[in-house]
Amino acid sequence: MKIYSLPIYVQRFFTERLATQLKASPNTVASYRDAFRLLLKYASDQIGRAPTDLQVADIDTTIVGGFLVFIETVRGNGARSRNTRLAAIRSFFKYVAVNEPQLLHHCQRILAMPSKRYNKRTIDYLNPAEIDALLAAPNLTTWYGRRDHTLLLLALQTGLRVSELINLTCGDIVLGTGAHVRCMGKGRKERSTPLRKDCEEALRNWLMGHADDDQPKPLFVSNRGGQLSRDAIERIVHKYVKLASSECATLKDKRVTPHVLRHSAAMQLLQNGVDRTVIALWLGHESVETTQMYIHANMEMKEQAMAKTKPVTAPAGRYKPNDKLLAFLEAL
């Protein structure tokens, strides 16, 4: 009987499938890596063998199911994190099924494991007063204040993702006629986003003295001159939300993250009458349907729709079936 060593397939999955064939982004590779580190440690503890001694057949539906329960109950992860881990495991077993048809039935059982449903919260976003308070919070007399003000303004106007902000270089900013910012978005799709006059002016002032050679430099840097991290941008946002909350009370009760700035940019476009197909292109969404969540969260559009309706004039009462079968169905 042929033995299918798990380490061989895991290594091939990451080096051949993700890195070479799919050219997956560093974020995807890191997410899959974390999922397998947790899974292999859990399986090793349950089976009693080191990860290097595990076989593909050892990772069955019992182990995967127990692992998913483990990350929710013991690690305290939510349903979204649970589904993300399951997606990584599914991707691996799809790869195994293609390369080892003898394991197809084993892989199909794992691939059939469903994602968990969860409650979807309405997105958070900032209203115009909150945006003004946030942008007024940085101290523009300091280097840090000018950097942070420019970063927040760019994020709120363009709706760039955190990863896109981090990877921006000085050469990605085009000023003058047709001012815009270029970025490499999710799915390795390059896009250009126009800049508003106030944002263009802030970037022009920030770039003075930052692009004095031909070497690509990060647009936003730390005090050591290196690229900002995701955590650093989150700290910047939290810092100025806290400062701005003294001027705008509604910010005190809001959970504001860098992604909320992206939502705020989209809501500004939607509330100013921009079509959702344009918003999808602006944000770099794969599908226009993704932009539907902004319509769902926009209370102003709902209020305008309600204003166009008329009161119901139908007589009050409740439907009463006159048939025993219909009565039975109605009572269910």
Alpha carbon distances (Å) from 160 to 176, 202, 260: 21, 17, 11
Dist. CA 97–CA 230, nearest whole Å: 36
136: left (phi over 0), alpha (psi -120 to 50) or beta: alpha
**235 backbone dihedrals φ, ψ, rounded to 5°:** -65, -40
Which regions of the chain does DSSP assign to beta strands (E)? 173-174, 180-184, 190-194
Q: Which residues is 194 bridged to in the sheet?
A: 180
Place of tokens 């942070």: 148
As annotated, the active-site residues are: 161, 186, 259, 262, 285, 294
Name residue, tokens 């909320």: 260
Contact 159, 282 (CB under 8 A): yes
**Which letter, b or e, does each residue of 106-143 get, where b requires 16 or more Cβ atoms within 10 Å of its Cβ?**
bbeebeeeeeeeeeeeebebbeeebbebbbebbeeeee
CA angle 136, 137, 140 (to 5 degrees): 80
Say which residue the tokens 């390059």 belong to.
Answer: 190
Angle at 188 between CA 182 and CA 193, to 5 degrees: 25
Angle between the 61-73 and 79-99 helix axes, to the nearest 10 degrees? 160
Which pair of structure tokens corresponds to residue 222? Answer: 């730390």
Bridge partners (DSSP) listed for residue 182: 192
Select from 31, 32, 27, 26 the least CA-distant residue to 11. 32
